[in-house]
Structure 1
Amino acid sequence: MSLKEHFTLLAAYNQSMNTKVYEAASRLDTKELTEDRGAFFGSILGTLNHILVGDIIWLKRFSTHPSCMSSLREVVNLPNPSSLDQILFEDFTALSEQRAWLDCQIICWIDELTETDLDRFISYHNSKSVPANKRFSSLVLHLFNHQTHHRGQVSALLSQAGEDIGVTDLLALIPEETRV
């Protein structure tokens, strides 16, 4: 499986898991969603907003890569998050709609990338204005890893609230193959 094919799988996994997480979270009321449960970003809503903030920040950085200027054009028009703990959406329905839209943008973006694109480097400044120059494929992997890390936290928070999101393993989406 090529690096691009791995990222295509991760984009599908991201969308699938977000769908499951948001379906489970939709069964909770506002009080349960916003209750501070001691997580890095406090509540379920706070953590879901953080994942969205992180995705927007990284996708805007990626949009400077020559191969991404077209595919991430709509993401570039989103407002810049002001902090990593910013609550972009207090309304769960609006947050859920934005998440679903962004997941579609990620899938389309990954579909347009090539192996050559992934082997290039990208320069950016982090949230503390520290410059960096890193391999593009490593940063794309970081995007997906960051989502998975914080979705794991949301999964635990949902479990504490009595909601089970079911199987969360990437393994469930890895296709069966026969050796040739």
Structure 2
Amino acid sequence: MITPRYCVTMARYNAWQNRQVKAAFEALSPEDLTRDRGAFFGSILATANHLLWGDRIWLSRFTGGEPPVGSIAESVGLTTSREDWALERFRVDSALLRWADGLKQVDLAGPLRWQSGVTGREMVKPVGLCVTHMFNHQTHHRGQIHAMLTAAGAEAPVSDLFVLPDEGPWL
């Protein structure tokens, strides 16, 4: 379904997007970042926190690492400031890049098992599908953040994948 190279490209894309989101956050006041904007998770920061939490939980499933605490509902409060978010986002983006860079094709084959908080049961899905979902989840919620940043008067990131720079820095 997917290749290690695809994962590296998408991890790079994710880090590049998050650097741009961080810059956009710096142009907004704390009130602008936490104002309820009618999005699914409410505010810009809450949506960014949910996305950060989601990346952490999927990465823990792929690597066997420690999952984040809390549920999806609690994910919105993962960090309380743009500075805390930026630091944690950097850490997770670094971990995603290291994970993707170390993948072999065999790592993307076979089933992934996990206990889903969403469904309340054990899930078994192809690893490749789950990795694709993680990257799609990132894009989905960054689209929401993009819309909220635009509505807040901030300059939203360039998000076209074909514009991804060929060279780093990725973090």
Give your verdict on TM over 0.5: yes
| 1:122 aligned onto 2:112 | yes
Quote the Cα distance in structure 1 between the aligned partners of 2:158 and 2:68. Answer: 34
Higher Cα Rg: structure 1 or 2? 1
Runs of 4+ in 1 over 4 A off after TM superposition: none
Amino acid of the structure 2 residue aligned with 1:46: A
| Offset at residue 120 of structure 1 (A) | 2.1
Q: Which residue of 1 aligns with 2:72?
A: 83
Structure 2: gaps spanning 5 or more residues: 167-171
**Counterparts of residues 73-152 of structure 1 (less than 5 Å):** 73=65, 76=66, 79-86=68-75, 87-127=77-117, 128-152=119-143
Secondary structure of residue in 2 paired with 1:38 = coil
* Contact map agreement 1:41 1:85 (CA 8 A) in 2: no
Could you tell me the percent identity over the aligned residues? 37
Return the TM-score normalized by structure 2. Answer: 0.89
In structure 2, the CA distance between the partners of 1:174 and 1:7, relative to structure 1 (3 Å rule), is farther
Report the RMSD for the aligned CA atoms in angstroms. 1.6
Quote the Cα distance in structure 2 between the aligned partners of 1:118 and 1:130. Answer: 23
Quote the Cα distance in structure 2 between the aligned partners of 1:126 and 1:153. Answer: 24
Structure 1: gaps spanning 5 or more residues: 65-72, 176-180
In structure 2, the CA distance between the partners of 1:38 and 1:169, relative to structure 1 (3 Å rule), is same
* Contact map agreement 2:50 2:72 (CA 8 A) in 1: no
Amino acid of the structure 2 residue aligned with 1:96: A
| Offset at residue 106 of structure 1 (A) | 0.2
Quote the Cα distance in structure 2 between the aligned partners of 1:129 and 1:44. Answer: 28
